A and B are shown apart, each in its own frame.
Chain A
Amino acid sequence: MSDGNGTVTVTINGRRVETHPGRLLIDVAEELGIFVPRFCYHPGMRSVAVCRMCLVHVEGQRKLMPACATPVSDGMEVQTDHPRAVDAQSGMLEFLLINHPLDCPICDRAGECPLQDQTYAHGPGTSRYVEPKRTYEKALEISDLVVLDRERCVLCWRCVRFADEIAGDRFIQLVDRGAGTQILTFSDEPFDSYFSGNTIQICPVGALTAKPYRFVSRPWDLKTAPSICAYCSVGCPISNEARAGQLVRCQALPNENVNDFWICDKGRFGYHYVDSPERLDNPLVRKGDSFEVTGWAEALRTAAEGLRGAASVGVIAGGHLTTEDAYAVQRLARGTLGTADLDSRIQDDGAPYELMVDAAGVAGSTATLNDLESAQTIVWTGPDPREELPVLFLRLRKAVTGRGAKLVVVSPRRLSLDAFATHVVRCEAGAEAAALEGLRLGNERPAADDVASADALVCCWGPSSPGRDETPILEQVVALAAERGGKVLVCPPHAGSQGLLDMGVHPALSPGYRRPETRGRRTREILEAAASGEIDALVIAGADVLNDFPDAELARRALTSGAFVVVSELFATDTARAADVLLPAAAYAEREGTFTNLERRLQKLEQLLAAPGTAREVWRICAGIAAAMGDDWGWTSFDDVWADINASVPTHAEVDVQALTQPHPVAGPHQESGYELMPNDMVMAGPGGPMPKGHRSGAAFEAGQAWPLSWELRSFEAHLRPGLIPVAADGTGEVGTLTERASATRREPGTFRLLSGRHIYDEGTMVSRSAMLHELAKEPFVALNAADAAEIGLSDGAQAVVEGATSVTLPVVIDDIARGAVYIPYDQPGLHANTLMRGPEPTVTVRPA
């Protein structure tokens, strides 16, 4: 980018480089392959320059300068290896070590610890410190997931800065001063954050450790592979790490387009389900009231027979399938089974993603996550991102608190975004479209002024409550963006949701956002048809419709009407138990694949583990069923699937999936140990001569290679795995005629619209089987407006009887929510809220218990 801003030339260790003014010396040096040792600097956070480890010599400066807080300027001459700088580095290490417990043998960080590595490279060999060390009580559990050892802490402030600057929950703090300075939580509040695990990953030493990983593995025993989080549609890159064939750790990989450097605790600690003993490992075929274990051949034959005999088949896929699985499901449905009745929207049944095709040519976002950061104004209407799309919440927060964007939140209930929103438009439930129209027409002031004045506008929309028809809302969002030259960020719920839309697992979309010849039934209609017998066979891939579809009774009737049901699943979910043929699927860490995230970015998963038993990818299962039905697709490998996608899906014709892989390690330009890679695969050592590559942390990243994952994870392969958005969408399409808006009608006292949403830790198929997180799941409750509560004689903490399709007693929480609506979390322990729901706009009555 050679814009008018000009460039500067700096010389670092004799090497000249041209770069932009204002960039930090530490970054510019790193790009040259010169690693300046550091503890406190982190590229994702503002510099504080407290550890003083990165001091370098700058010509003409009397004092050594901290490279992490020194912007480059023209003509600057820098020596990172000047004798004074080297002396300072080793002196700083000596200072840090005098009070360090040096309990490396029992420290989880040992082997991937920059304090160890930097001491090895730059530190003194012996200690001149003879006095007793500063001691603290060791291993404090500061939350259910995080353990703190203050003796190991080097007071780099990374954790504190993360909590304050990035996550916005200041639970971890500095207390006391001088040599007594320590990291602590407030005594009355645990470190209760959805993002707490990031502090563990960025802690340069073993001061913060993860309870699930403590004493589980030495880093050099880990086998690792890059992957993508399988939970929500943000699609955070992660590294899966296994020891002895078991997933034991998961860390964020940086992709500054997507997740910056962060993941949420669900993504980080939610992997235990993969190794759960409850995983299905072999095909099961129903024999009367029970299942019988069979081989694949028999299971597929049974499935094929059942499906061949059906008059009409419905296909439902869940949101955690990969893009390849999605394509296979679609081909099975439209091709082999010849049905138009397929859908992938379960909890988001009623979400009109297809509307985007008219407006923008894609059934998804026209905005990228990076667009949020250059936006002047962001409009949000949808779920609570902190609960459902956690890292999107961080990106939104950064856009507002870090980049000064204005945020307008349109919602009938309080969302976590309200805490830093510029304007909160609290509308009645069902009146979101009217509120958005107000923004568009300039009536909803002052928020409308910030929308009108924005040169760069991003309107975000996601399905706000299960099962709602959000057509009028999305229409307004599209119109607002189109009229103001803005972009739309469409936020479907799950990791696979967008890929399923792209691959046409949708009754009104075929692959590549084309219109199919016949429009089929959507999920609700499929279930209704199955319940009435019109559809007599169902194929369900990775979807627990009984617990996820926002009308539990309808789902139950559909599955028990006598239809022939084929399910592929990880677990014997309630839905899976209703199957006639149950086929075990491979989990994300056990396979190659891609997920398409909410900005339509394809990112690649690499296989790390073997699937249990004979479980396999859903695409293989689909191809197997097809073959058993006499339709051989000829697929045997991942590449075969992609060859087919390239050939059949115009939007994806150009995608080179292997380019997403980066199979060969690209030499990390720096080693924090101070060693440099030589072309002959040796590292140039300091004292001690050359060593084989991969000997130390900081070795380049290779999928499946056993090496200790570096603390910083920068410049490794992940950095070179930016992913790919197959088609650009400019979003300046036509705005169709707007649907008549239902005006919100006040209901009788005691009768409420039921709003719901998922919470980060819930009864979901995967997260509920991740032991650590399941314990954190909140109990269900019913939230309502204070005035509504008073009207029916309820107060905060009281018990209320909530009656919808079924009836339940719940504690009352008074909250900032529109009158006439209640909020009940969708899937918390003890209550599947879909059991309360009947019909597309569910209501409930509420009375004191």
Chain B
Amino acid sequence: MSVAAGPQEVRIVTRRYHEFPEDSWTLERVEADGGYEAARSAVRDMTPDEVLDTVKDSGLRGRGGAGFPTGVKWSFVPKDLFPKYIVVNHDEGEPGTFKDRELGERDPHQLIEGIIIAAWANQANRAFIYCRGEMALGARRMDTAIRDAYRKGYLGKGIFGSGFDLDVTLHRGAGAYICGEESALLDSLEGFRGQPRLKPPFPAVKGLYGQPTIINNTETLSTLPHIIRHGVEWFRRWGTEKSPGTKMISTSGHVVRPANYEVPLGTTLAELLELAGGMRDGGRVKAIIPGGASAPLLTSTEYRLDFESLQEAGTMLGSGAVVFMDESTCMVRNALVTNEFFEHESCGKCTPCREGTWWASKVLERIEHGEGRKEDMELLLDIANGIDGRAFCPLGDAASWALRSNVELFRDEFEQHVIDGRCPFEDEHLSFTGPRAAVPGPGDSGIAAQPHAGVDADLEGPDPREAGR
């Protein structure tokens, strides 16, 4: 690869599908590309504890949002309780995030290989992939990949000729953001209302059907084969001491090339923006959501994208979804749209989130429609404070952070709405929720948008997009 000027992606989990965009999801391609070698050697040549130690040493942190060190989480699993389960969090509900979808659609075997490694390390004989309902293509491809892996003896009884059994079940959710929260996911998987469980006990000790359960994000698991194959030192070549490796950053908003970019952790927002082709129409950055809708806003690109830097900056890396907003964005509307998302997705279990997000939506709507009152900004902050740290699960907290940072950082804009009695951006045709830039980016090839990827899409039926295969 020739070294061009400017920042570069480091493609580890995204390499295969970038190199072989036509068939990266097929078993033939994956095998020819050295797939399943890491899983095979883990199961055949390494003890479970060796795998666990490797993952611990790698410093890999969860890619699903919380950034919890994966090896440490695994070590909480009681060794002597069976059965144990692996659950893949492929729900990807965080607004702005679209990385797991790409991994599921374009490299499902990489995920399965990661599952095998995790299952071996934790001695779990059963894994579930909890797949967001809307992801029809991904579900279809993962389903095919699972069948192919069974056919080859990579899954099922005595995998890779060892004495270890592993079954993988694909489960499609029914479209609730909260079902991405690990304990709600488990309830949903068990067939109940998807609502978070009281912790402790944590899933690692008492999870699915009351058994020890490891829940990991798709990207987290997809990273494992590379760590096993190339080793800890290789993996630590990228990233920072506390956030080693690379991370897929779902980049969107008013940039020239919205897409997933896999970059070393610690890359600055400015570098990411450069990768994405800069702001469209030469616009200037007004606000940045650095880690999905849950993360408090930033107003400058100087920050580094890693867990510790963003935490220091009072926000978070979250699921790694960066949204750049230019000056055409109405921040009241941004707050409203974001809050409406949380209001809609609140599971309703606890008082502050259920009532607080509902109330905030009403107030924001009033302000946006020119009926704001001057005490509304204080009220919004009070609502945010009333939720923050008091909700049952992090969804409520997240809603409050987004709300608070919008009001605090752009208070003048809120006040302007109240004083003018109208939204000053009313006439702008561009806003945060406006049409997406038409320029296809490098990560955008091949897969059309799925306006109505129905939850009921038939898994077995032929996929028109795969007709030429």
Identify the 9 closest CB pairs spanning chains A and B, nearest first. Answer: A181-B348, A95-B355, A179-B358, A91-B386, A178-B346, A131-B362, A63-B389, A177-B348, A178-B348
Question: How far does the alpha carbon of A179 sit from the alpha carbon of B361 in the complex, in Å?
Answer: 11
A52 and B346: CB pair below 8 A?
Answer: no
| Subset of 16 A-B contacts with CB under 8 Å | A51-B350, A52-B351, A52-B391, A64-B390, A94-B386, A95-B351, A95-B356, A96-B355, A131-B359, A134-B358, A177-B176, A177-B193, A177-B346, A177-B347, A179-B343, A179-B346
B198 and A49: CB pair below 8 A?
Answer: yes
Given A50-B392, A64-B389, A177-B176, does the pair A92, B352 have CB atoms closer than 8 Å?
yes
The interface residues of chain B lying within 8 Å CB-to-CB of A180 are: 348
Given A48-B198, A50-B392, A178-B358, does the pair A95, B352 have CB atoms closer than 8 Å?
yes
Within 8 Å by CB of A179, from B354, B385, B390, B391, lies B354
Within 8 Å by CB of A96, from B344, B346, B351, lies B351
8 Å CB contacts to B: which residues of A39-95?
47-53, 55, 62-64, 69, 88, 91-92, 94-95
Chain A CB within 10 Å, residue with most, of B358, B363, B390 = B390
Shortest Cβ distance from B444 into chain A, in angstroms?
A: 33
Shortest Cβ distance from B386 into chain A, in angstroms?
A: 4
A91 and B198: CB pair below 8 A?
Answer: no
**Residue A98 interfacial (CB < 8 Å):** yes
CB nearest to A129 among chain B residues: B359
Shortest Cβ distance from B177 into chain A, in angstroms?
A: 10
8 Å CB contacts to A: which residues of B345-392?
345-352, 354-359, 362-363, 366, 375, 379, 382, 385-386, 389-392
Given A52-B390, A128-B379, does the pair A178, B352 have CB atoms closer than 8 Å?
no
B348 and A91: CB pair below 8 A?
Answer: no
The interface residues of chain A lying within 8 Å CB-to-CB of B351 are: 50-53, 92, 95-96, 154-155
Shortest Cβ distance from B102 into chain A, in angstroms?
A: 28
A178 and B354: CB pair below 8 A?
Answer: yes
Within 8 Å by CB of A91, from B344, B349, B352, lies B352
B390 and A88: CB pair below 8 A?
Answer: yes
Mask: chain A, 122-142; 1 = CB below 8 Å from B; 0 = not: 000000110100100000000
Chain A interface secondary structure, helix, strand, loop or mixed?
loop
The interface residues of chain A lying within 8 Å CB-to-CB of B349 are: 50, 181
B355 and A99: CB pair below 8 A?
Answer: yes
CB nearest to A53 among chain B residues: B351
**Residue A176 interfacial (CB < 8 Å):** yes
Shortest Cβ distance from B187 into chain A, in angstroms?
A: 12
8 Å CB contacts to A: which residues of B263-309?
none
The interface residues of chain A lying within 8 Å CB-to-CB of B357 are: 178-179
**Residue A787 interfacial (CB < 8 Å):** no
Chain A CB within 10 Å, residue with most, of B347, B358, B382 = B358
Mask: chain A, 428-457; 1 = CB below 8 Å from B; 0 = not: 000000000000000000000000000000
Shortest Cβ distance from A79 into chain B, in angstroms?
A: 16
B residues contacting A by CB (< 8 A) are 176, 178, 193, 198, 343-352, 354-359, 362-363, 366, 375, 379, 382, 385-386, 389-392
A47 and B348: CB pair below 8 A?
Answer: no
Question: How far does the alpha carbon of A174 sit from the alpha carbon of B344 in the complex, in Å?
Answer: 17
The interface residues of chain A lying within 8 Å CB-to-CB of B343 are: 178-179
Within 8 Å by CB of A95, from B379, B386, B392, lies B386
A50 and B346: CB pair below 8 A?
Answer: no
Chain A CB within 10 Å, residue with most, of B347, B382, B391, B392 = B392
B386 and A179: CB pair below 8 A?
Answer: no
Question: How far does the alpha carbon of A49 sit from the alpha carbon of B349 in the complex, in Å?
Answer: 9
Question: How far does the alpha carbon of A124 sit from the alpha carbon of B386 in the complex, in Å?
Answer: 13
A176 and B348: CB pair below 8 A?
Answer: yes
CB nearest to A90 among chain B residues: B386
Question: How far does the alpha carbon of A98 sit from the alpha carbon of B355 in the complex, in Å?
Answer: 8
The interface residues of chain A lying within 8 Å CB-to-CB of B346 are: 177-179
The interface residues of chain B lying within 8 Å CB-to-CB of A178 are: 343-348, 354, 357-358
The interface residues of chain A lying within 8 Å CB-to-CB of B391 are: 52
A98 and B359: CB pair below 8 A?
Answer: yes
Given A47-B198, A177-B347, A178-B347, does the pair A155, B354 have CB atoms closer than 8 Å?
yes
Shortest Cβ distance from A158 into chain B, in angstroms?
A: 14
Shortest Cβ distance from A607 into chain B, in angstroms?
A: 43
CB nearest to B178 among chain A residues: A177
CB nearest to B359 among chain A residues: A98
Shortest Cβ distance from A49 into chain B, in angstroms?
A: 6
New contact pairs (17) apart from A50-B349, A128-B379, A178-B348, CB-CB < 8 Å: A49-B392, A50-B350, A52-B350, A52-B352, A53-B351, A69-B198, A92-B351, A96-B351, A99-B355, A155-B348, A174-B348, A178-B344, A178-B346, A178-B347, A179-B343, A179-B358, A181-B348
The interface residues of chain A lying within 8 Å CB-to-CB of B347 are: 177-178, 181
CB nearest to A182 among chain B residues: B348
The interface residues of chain A lying within 8 Å CB-to-CB of B362 are: 131
The interface residues of chain A lying within 8 Å CB-to-CB of B390 are: 52, 55, 63-64, 88, 91-92
CB nearest to A176 among chain B residues: B348
Question: How far does the alpha carbon of A48 sit from the alpha carbon of B393 in the complex, in Å?
Answer: 12
Question: How far does the alpha carbon of A47 sit from the alpha carbon of B343 in the complex, in Å?
Answer: 25
The interface residues of chain B lying within 8 Å CB-to-CB of A88 are: 386, 390
Question: How far does the alpha carbon of A735 sit from the alpha carbon of B173 in the complex, in Å?
Answer: 61
CB nearest to B388 among chain A residues: A63
Shortest Cβ distance from B311 into chain A, in angstroms?
A: 14
Question: How far does the alpha carbon of A179 sit from the alpha carbon of B391 in the complex, in Å?
Answer: 14
The interface residues of chain A lying within 8 Å CB-to-CB of B385 are: 91
Question: How far does the alpha carbon of A69 sit from the alpha carbon of B349 in the complex, in Å?
Answer: 15
CB nearest to B397 among chain A residues: A63
CB nearest to A181 among chain B residues: B348
Shortest Cβ distance from A87 into chain B, in angstroms?
A: 8
Question: How far does the alpha carbon of A237 sit from the alpha carbon of B176 in the complex, in Å?
Answer: 45
The interface residues of chain A lying within 8 Å CB-to-CB of B178 are: 177
Shortest Cβ distance from B196 into chain A, in angstroms?
A: 10
Question: How far does the alpha carbon of A52 sit from the alpha carbon of B349 in the complex, in Å?
Answer: 10
Question: How far does the alpha carbon of A64 sit from the alpha carbon of B389 in the complex, in Å?
Answer: 7
8 Å CB contacts to B: which residues of A151-175?
154-155, 174
The interface residues of chain B lying within 8 Å CB-to-CB of A155 are: 348, 351, 354
Shortest Cβ distance from B16 into chain A, in angstroms?
A: 38
The interface residues of chain B lying within 8 Å CB-to-CB of A52 are: 350-352, 390-392
